[in-house]
């Protein structure tokens, strides 16, 4: 069974009504990124940071998987599919994808500030000041903030290095270290880029098939093509 790796960014979630992590005006929602998404912001005003991510969690819960999420889940009928996502929502899982690696964390989980590896699935929309782990440490959103290490980069490199087919969906390839992952794709792999914007790609993506479309339009097309190709083998 061929291995497909889908590397997804904010563009796939935006079509479910979730805003991208940073709009053109440099704001995240109406907040400065430095005020809500850095370790310094947490030290300075943890209540504001919690409020911001509580809002994002509510938005995620209200959102629904779109045609692109559903198409990727359907690809598992004929391929071994791994999703590597920069998004912190759970739309891939809710669409039915079995193997999802979240590079930047998960909005519906909380992390202990005392023991970073101590994680909790949230059964409510909010984390409040005073919500603690069993060791007494304040809970924070389980997300990777600007300036923090992205822990799953080695695992993501390994997955992409074994890809027979790579789908790059809804990402500008401007956010590092995640953007550098495409350099680990084998040269002989099939490569697809699906994004309506002009995305600069390196020579490593020679042979790339570029669909300059939104995810909900382009992803089902590529998935149907791959499913039909598999039937012909």
Contacts for 132-140 with beta carbons within 8 Å, 24 or more apart? 137/112, 137/113, 138/46, 138/112, 138/113, 138/114, 139/110, 139/111, 139/112, 139/113, 140/42, 140/46, 140/49, 140/50, 140/110, 140/111, 140/112, 140/113
- Residue numbers annotated as active site: 104
Given the structure tokens 């935006």, which residue do they identify?
14
Transcribe 60-113 into DSSP letters.
Answer: HHH----HHHHHHHHGGGTSEEEEEES--S-HHHHHT-S-EEETTEEEEEEEES
Strand partners, 209: 192
């Amino acid at each position: 069974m061929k291995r497909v790796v889908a590397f997804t960014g904010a563009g796939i979630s935006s079509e479910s009504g979730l805003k991208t992590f940073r709009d053109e005006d440099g704001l995240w929602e109406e907040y400065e990124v430095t005020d809500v998404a850095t370790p310094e912001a947490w030290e300075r005003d943890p209540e504001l940071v919690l409020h911001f991510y509580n809002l994002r969690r509510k938005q995620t819960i209200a959102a629904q998987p779109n045609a692109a999420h559903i198409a990727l889940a359907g690809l598992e009928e004929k391929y071994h599919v791994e999703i590597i996502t920069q998004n912190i929502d759970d739309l891939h899982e809710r669409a039915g994808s079995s193997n999802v690696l979240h590079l930047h964390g998960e909005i519906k989980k909380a992390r202990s500030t005392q023991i970073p590896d101590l994680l909790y699935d949230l059964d409510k929309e909010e984390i409040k000041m005073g919500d603690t782990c069993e060791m007494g440490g304040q809970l924070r959103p389980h997300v990777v903030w600007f300036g923090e290490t992205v822990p799953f980069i080695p695992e993501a490199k390994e997955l992409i290095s074994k890809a027979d087919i790579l789908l790059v969906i809804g990402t500008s390839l401007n956010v590092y270290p995640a953007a550098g992952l495409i350099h680990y794709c084998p040269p002989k792999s099939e490569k697809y880029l699906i994004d309506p914007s002009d995305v600069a790609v390196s020579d490593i993506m020679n042979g790339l098939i570029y669909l300059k479309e939104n995810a909900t339009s382009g992803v089902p097309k590529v998935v149907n093509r791959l499913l039909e190709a598999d039937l012909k083998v």
